[in-house]
Amino acid sequence: MSDGNGSSNGSGGVQRPVGIDELLERVRANYERIEPQEAYEAALAGDALLVDIRYAALRERDGLIPGALVVERNELEWRLDPLGSHRLPEATSHALRVVVICNEGYASSLAVQSLHQLGLNRATDLVGGFQAWRVAGLPVV
């Protein structure tokens, strides 16, 4: 029986609302996130595709990670789905290791959940996002 606020007494029906902090915790429990230095080394070795989902104003203000693909968040699934008709040439396989990068590492976690639902199970995101990359002294242009 519902209490009128969207929660359930456990008998089936509607689930209780979840705050964003809890949602992020649940999402992140399903995969291992990656630190900036490890992401940099994986990209250099050709073992990871860095994907920057920050919006244009942030890219213009802070710069770009050399070699990272820029894919706006609202296009991410269409561009990285290996079965999709609008996929990027780099989206060659469900085995592709994708590292999603947002500004601070929050939106990227939710994006990874979506990529996992498409079968891109090696997708992960950058702890601390672009800002952590920059603080680590990694290349930015």
pLDDT one-digit tens code per residue, 36-75 = 999 999 999 999 999 999 999 999 999 999 999 999 999 9
pLDDT at 60: 97
pLDDT surpassing 80 at residue 111: yes
pLDDT at 2: 41
Yes or no: say if 136 and 127 are a contact pair by the CB < 8 Å rule: no
CA distance 116 to 112: 6
